[in-house]
């Protein structure tokens, strides 16, 4: 055998691969065509296994069992006489399974999938770099040029050792990588989701970024969300679960790679401007601190049932944006920088550890603008459709949009790339199903309810505000609260955050300012009564930004107001200007006591919606994408 993958056009994947190996590749999302193009195959003969691993002992190779073989090719498509193997029975080394075997005594090579080879000389093309052949092949198949490394340090040449037997000297790219045109190219490193928990992998990532940067590349890194049970997610896993559109969003939000082992040192001095600027720059490395409306903020979950006098009564588990108070800022500054101060005088002066001075904490807190800090426009706990047509499902911060996605890891979404008329018709029927028992006055009012459900999912597709969706009914007990819950449970998985309405203009303004600061996305004005509407509410319904003085100080919030408003009530009366900003959802029940009805399609509608949330959300997104 001169090559592990003869070019026989009559061969199929079943001819080349054992069933378990074919299932492995298909589990990574690889098509049969891509498998054939990459020339992956199974090796069952221990002699072949020993040959490609350059092992002298056939018996040792036999212990690995059948192996999945990954042959490497140069940019011209010539076989490099280099094969990596994934054995069915991996050996153990230092109490860990060796999942992949590389040839002994041979320098590392870079894996370049077929579709990537032609772009290596063109620095205008973005290039992904990941660990492993399957991941690179999957990215390549889905239209993302990608190079696979044989390990997180598989990109560098072997370094000489110093007198203490430690690797020393400059880090240099292996020849396969050195031949790629790097100057002016954007490179995105895509290591597995557990990189954040592995300092040694983050260090390797940083060294790779620094070496590519020295070659003229602009290097960033993506962070994949973990799996539903916290399991590791690789590039191929992410593409299988979320699709190419989600990866494009993640790549667009990729961030520069920083040294994980070195916090910046800030020496306290009388030149306060220098100290403050260094502190603000260091704060930008904190992954969960953001800028919003001229404030420093962070995000946390609602941990307890709200008090009845709170402005917004949120369900437990709902995310809320909070301002980073000065004591918390001080704590963060000690985490993101090493603070030093000269003590003593003359030759006896020493540089010693210190605390951030109060004047620095106050100055950083009061800046109002932090150019290096992440801008937080909104926190979403549900998929949203982006202007590109991509469905945002990947958790984490997306720099290009200012969105922080916090979706449940077990939420399964299935939306066609190009929905047909039949797809959209079926999706409409799916959304109508849980609404079957509500007494909408006309089909138009049911359509208005669907519009309200779709609005938060489509919010980032359009400029400007959305109307208040008013669920109005003729009698008590007709189900307005339950209908509102259907919307909230489909979109967020939780019941509505509730705010009491007041006609007191000053009080209403304060409440809306609080909503804006805390990043609320959906709000229910429950049990509206009497005349509803004034200029403050009208302003909130016609704006997607809000500016107001913060209660208890002279500071001003000037930032996003991304609220989709809902209301419920009986025969609600609207002021003239407000009525033009309302989408009416009217229910007319002919029962004197509608709450006494029975025979519903779903006895526990809330439980039904919760258990079918993924299907209902998929239907809503299918309608939007079809539109």
What is the model's pLDDT at position 577? 87
Domains of the chain: 1-104 (3.90.980), 107-261 (3.40.1360.10), 265-375 (no CATH), 417-436+609-627 (no CATH), 438-599 (3.40.50.300)
Q: At what angle do helices 421-432 and 613-626 cross, to 10 degrees?
A: 140
Q: Where on the phi/psi map is residue 80: left (φ > 0), alpha (ψ -120 to 50), or beta?
A: alpha
Cβ 386 vs Cβ 393: under 8 Å = no
Task: Give the helix/strand (H/E) hosting 426.
Answer: helix 421-432
Gap between the Cα atoms of 38 and 132, Å rounded: 13
**Weakly modelled stretches of the chain, pLDDT under 50:** 1-6
pLDDT digits (tens, 9 = 90+) for 326-373: 999 999 999 999 999 999 888 888 999 999 999 999 999 999 999 889
**Cβ–Cβ contacts within 10 Å for residue 627, how many?**
11
DSSP letters spanning 300-311: EE--SPPPTTSS
Gap between the Cα atoms of 86 and 67, Å rounded: 5
Gap between the Cα atoms of 243 and 249, Å rounded: 11
Q: For residue 326, what is the DSSP state?
A: H
Gap between the Cα atoms of 406 and 7, Å rounded: 47
Cβ 44 vs Cβ 112: under 8 Å = no
Residue among 604, 569, 574 nearest 478 (CA) = 569
């Amino acid at each position: 055998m001169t090559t592990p993958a003869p070019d026989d056009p009559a061969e199929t994947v079943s001819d080349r691969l054992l069933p378990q190996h074919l299932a492995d590749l298909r589990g990574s999302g690889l098509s049969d065509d891509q498998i054939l193009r990459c020339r992956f195959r199974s090796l069952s003969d221990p002699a072949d296994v020993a040959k490609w691993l350059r092992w002298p002992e056939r018996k040792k190779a036999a212990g690995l069992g059948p192996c999945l073989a990954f042959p490497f090719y140069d940019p011209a498509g010539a076989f490099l006489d280099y094969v990596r193997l994934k054995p069915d029975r991996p050996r153990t080394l230092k109490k860990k399974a060796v999942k992949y075997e590389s040839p002994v005594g041979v320098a590392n090579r870079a894996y370049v999938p077929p579709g990537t080879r032609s772009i290596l000389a063109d620095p205008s093309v973005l290039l992904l770099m990941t660990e492993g052949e399957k991941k690179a092949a999957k990215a390549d198949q889905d239209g993302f040029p990608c190079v696979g490394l044989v390990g997180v340090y598989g990109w560098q040449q072997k370094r000489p050792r110093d007198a203490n037997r430690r690797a020393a000297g400059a880090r240099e790219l292996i020849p396969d990588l050195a031949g790629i045109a790097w100057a002016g190219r954007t490179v995105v490193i895509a290591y597995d989701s557990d990189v954040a928990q592995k300092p040694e992998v983050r260090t390797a990532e940083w060294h790779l970024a620094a070496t590519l940067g020295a070659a003229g590349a602009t290097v960033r890194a993506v962070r994949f969300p973990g799996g539903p049970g916290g399991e590791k997610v690789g590039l191929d896993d992410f593409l299988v679960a979320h699709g190419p559109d989600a990866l494009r969003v993640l790549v667009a939000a990729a961030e520069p790679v920083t040294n994980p082992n070195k916090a910046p040192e800030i020496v306290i001095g009388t030149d306060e401007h220098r100290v403050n600027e260094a502190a603000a720059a260091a704060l930008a490395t904190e992954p969960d601190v953001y800028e919003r409306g001229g404030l420093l903020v962070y995000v946390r979950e609602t941990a307890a049932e709200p008090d009845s006098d709170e402005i917004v009564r949120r369900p437990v588990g709902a995310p809320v944006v909070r301002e980073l108070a000065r004591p918390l800022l001080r704590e963060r500054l000690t985490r993101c920088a090493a603070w030093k101060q000269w003590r003593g005088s003359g030759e006896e002066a020493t540089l010693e550890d210190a605390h951030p001075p109060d004047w620095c904490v106050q100055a950083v807190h009061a800046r109002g603008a932090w150019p290096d800090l992440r801008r937080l426009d909104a926190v979403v706990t549900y998929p949203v459709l982006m202007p590109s047509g991509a469905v945002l499902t990947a958790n984490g911060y997306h720099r290009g949009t200012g969105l922080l996605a916090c979706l449940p890891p077990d939420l399964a979404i299935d939306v066609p790339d190009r929905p047909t008329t039949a797809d959209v018709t079926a999706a409409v029927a799916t959304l109508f199903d849980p609404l079957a028992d509500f007494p909408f006055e006309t089909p138009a009012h049911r359509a208005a309810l669907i519009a309200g459900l779709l609005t938060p999912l489509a919010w980032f597709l359009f400029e400007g505000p959305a109307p208040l969706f008013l669920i109005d009914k003729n009698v008590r007990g007709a189900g307005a609260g339950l209908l509102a819950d259907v919307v909230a449970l489909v979109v967020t998985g939780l019941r509505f955050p509730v705010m009491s309405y007041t006609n007191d203009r000053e009080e209403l303004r304060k409440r809306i300012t609080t909503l804006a600061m805390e990043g609320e996305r959906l709000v229910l004005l429950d049990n509206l009564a009497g005349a509803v509407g004034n200029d403050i509410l009208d302003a909130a319904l016609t704006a997607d930004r809000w500016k107001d003085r913060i209660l208890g100080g002279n500071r001003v919030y000037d930032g996003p107001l991304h609220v989709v408003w809902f209301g419920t009530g009986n025969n609600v009366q609207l002021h003239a200007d407000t009525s033009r900003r309302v989408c009416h959802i009217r229910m007319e029940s002919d029962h004197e006591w509608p709450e006494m009805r029975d025979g519903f399609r779903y006895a526990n509608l809330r439980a039904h919606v919760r258990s079918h949330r993924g299907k209902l959300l998929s239907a809503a997104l299918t309608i939007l994408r079809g539109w």
